[in-house]
Amino acid sequence: MDSYDVLVIGGGPAGYVAAIRAAQLGFRVACVDAFERNGKASLGGTCLNVGCIPSKAMLDSSEKFEMITHEAADHGIEVDGARVDLGRMLSRKESVVDKLTGGIAYLFKKNKITSFHGLGRLVRQDGDGWIVDAAGTEVRAKNVIVATGSQPRALPLAPFGGNIVENSGALAFEQVPGKLGVIGAGVIGVELGSVWRRLGAQVTILEALPGFLLAADDAVSKEALKQFQKQGLDFHFGVKITDVKQDESGVTVTYEEKGNAVTASFDKLIVSIGRVPNTQGLGAEAVGLNLDERGFVKVDAHYRTNLPGIYAIGDVVGGAMLAHKAEEEGVAVAELIAGQAGHVNYDVIPWVIYTSPEIAWAGLTEKGAKEQGLKVKTGQFPFSANGRALGHGDSRGFVKVVADADTDRILGIHMVGPNVSELIGEAVGMMEFGGSAEDLGRTVHAHPTLSEVVKEAALATDKRALHM
């Protein structure tokens, strides 16, 4: 029987990064992953295959179309006859995915990581290690890292199938739906809703909660909602779905809104109401691995489960279901297994939503900071007062800095506007080093750049923004 120092179950951002870092640290490593795309093994998990990467490829393609059809004329560029070749757009997306998933296979080879394709299942304890069924082959591992990720949560009234789809289906419609319904105004709802609206669909988004993006700073969610509604996304908040029926031609959804029963028909329905952990088939029950009441694997601060030598990371342990959080846990757990001080700073995890305008934040919202009893000061600066944004032709949104009124330490930075997915990196770096609004305001920012808005927002916490 083959024997490994570290066996990773799951080859998504959590698992593949843990495997690479463990190999760098000198361990003998194997990874077993079950994901298949087009009938073939494909490493990279949800993120690379049917999540982060293909969704951003489609967001970029559809945004280019929107730019050409709606914004180019403002720049003095006349384009006649622009049209979407959806087949080509989808195959471009697939080729981006192929490149990246193939890249992980290459990295595994380079780091001498043994790769098994199929299910991984915990079988039994064996001395100070574990026997794991890796795609039908029993192997022995001193340490096991469970990184099995998550899958879309289904709405019992609307099981996936036919014209009711989750993220994978919503990234592969063969034609642009005339009418698209989306249940859930979360991250997937607004990102994929934006893709198909830009390509010509009429998009209706049905959300159970009374407001939009409640985790974001109030000012940001308010501005983003205003922009999305202006683009034609039709949001309905506080709705209760009461019936969903589908036939070959489409899906009919009945919901309650403000006490009224409403029926709407769609060609396709995306259900994006959150994700649930993947633990079925893992052998958790057989070996006595503790899960919480929602099915997430329970871990301590060092990713240790209740079983010695079994660790868990990524979406399957809950918390922020983000690829970069999963990757950092992958690095940390490998280092902890090696006796090093692996650590993730959960206070400064960036959130980014790749809509137009983009949304990004890190740290506490103004409301969240106040709820913690902190005395806060805030500074906000609009992109409309920034030369580069005006040159771009996109000056929607702002940056808002939330700082401690006594110490000046930055508690949170919130952004909605052009390219804020990139601007948030500076904020995260500054916060990671315990930076103050003064530090950020005195840092030299290149001119003319969008990043000057971040600096000005920091200065605005002391009412000394220079260009407003």
Residues with catalytic annotation?
A: 447
Among 211, 274, 281, 448, binds ligand NAI (CB under 6 A): 274
Q: Which does 15 bind (CB under 5 to 8 A by kind): ligand FAD, ligand NAI, none?
A: ligand FAD
Distance CA 263, CA 204 (A): 12
Does position 113 interact with ligand NAI (CB under 6 A)? The reply is no
Q: Which does 9 bind (CB under 5 to 8 A by kind): ligand NAI, ligand FAD, none?
A: ligand FAD
Among 6, 8, 9, 344, binds ligand FAD (CB under 6 A): 9
Q: b/e per residue, 320-333, with b = 16+ CB within 10 A?
A: ebbbbbbbbbbbbb
- Report in angstroms how near the CB of residue 110 gets to ligand FAD at its nearest: 20
Distance CA 46, CA 221 (A): 27
Q: Which does 148 bind (CB under 5 to 8 A by kind): ligand NAI, ligand FAD, none?
A: ligand FAD
Instruction: Give the residue among 354, 374, 350, 376 at the shortest CA–CA distance from 363.
Output: 350
Nearer to ligand NAI, 111 or 151 (CB): 151
Joined together, the tokens standing for residue 48 give 């690379």
- Within 129-158, the residues that bind ligand NAI by CB under 6 A are 155
Per the rule left: phi > 0, alpha: psi between -120 and 50, beta: everything else, 149 is left
Dihedral sign for Cα 76, 78, 83, 86, please.
negative
- Cβ atoms of 198 and 177 within 8 Å: the answer is no
Q: Which does 396 bind (CB under 5 to 8 A by kind): ligand FAD, ligand NAI, none?
A: none
Nearer to ligand NAI, 285 or 347 (CB): 347
Interaction mask 146-185, ligand FAD, x per CB under 6 A: -xxxx----------------x------------------
Does position 189 interact with ligand FAD (CB under 6 A)? The reply is no
List of residues 6+ apart from 260 with CB closer than 8 A:
none
Among 181, 193, 277, 314, binds ligand FAD (CB under 6 A): 314
Does position 185 interact with ligand NAI (CB under 6 A)? The reply is yes
Distance CA 216, CA 322 (A): 15
List of residues 6+ apart from 415 with CB closer than 8 A:
220, 358, 359, 360, 361, 397, 398, 399, 400, 423, 424, 427, 454
Cβ-closest position to ligand NAI: 186
Number of residues that bind ligand NAI (CB under 6 A): 23
Q: Which does 241 bind (CB under 5 to 8 A by kind): ligand FAD, ligand NAI, none?
A: ligand NAI
Cis peptide before 54 (omega within 30 of 0): no
Does position 183 interact with ligand NAI (CB under 6 A)? The reply is yes
The residue length of the chain stands at: 468
Among 120, 149, 181, 184, binds ligand NAI (CB under 6 A): 184
Distances (CA, A) of 456 to 387, 434, 444: 13, 19, 11
Among 207, 327, 335, 456, binds ligand NAI (CB under 6 A): 207
Joined together, the tokens standing for residue 241 give 């779905």
Does position 208 interact with ligand NAI (CB under 6 A)? The reply is yes
- Report in angstroms how near the CB of residue 137 gets to ligand NAI at its nearest: 32
Q: Which does 183 bind (CB under 5 to 8 A by kind): ligand FAD, ligand NAI, none?
A: ligand NAI
The residue type found at 375 is K
H-only helix segments in 175-280: 187-198, 218-231
Nearer to ligand NAI, 167 or 279 (CB): 167
The CB density around residue 421, as the number of other CB atoms within 10 Å, is 16
List of residues 6+ apart from 222 with CB closer than 8 A:
212
Q: Which does 14 bind (CB under 5 to 8 A by kind): ligand FAD, ligand NAI, none?
A: ligand FAD
Interaction mask 312-331, ligand NAI, x per CB under 6 A: ---------xx---------
- Report in angstroms how near the CB of residue 186 gets to ligand NAI at its nearest: 2
Does position 466 interact with ligand NAI (CB under 6 A)? The reply is no
Q: What is the 3-state secondary structure (H, E, C) of 299-340?
A: CCCCCECCCCCEEECHHHHCCCCCHHHHHHHHHHHHHHHCCC
Q: Which does 11 bind (CB under 5 to 8 A by kind): ligand FAD, ligand NAI, none?
A: ligand FAD
Distances (CA, A) of 421 to 116, 138, 150, 219, 289: 35, 43, 24, 17, 38
Does position 282 interact with ligand FAD (CB under 6 A)? The reply is yes
Footprint on this chain of ligand FAD (rule: CB under 6 A)? 9-15, 32-35, 45-47, 51-52, 55, 119-120, 147-150, 167, 188, 278, 281-282, 314-316, 321-324, 326
Which residue ranges make up the site for ligand NAI (CB under 6 A)? 155, 183-189, 191, 206-209, 241, 272-275, 321-322, 352-354
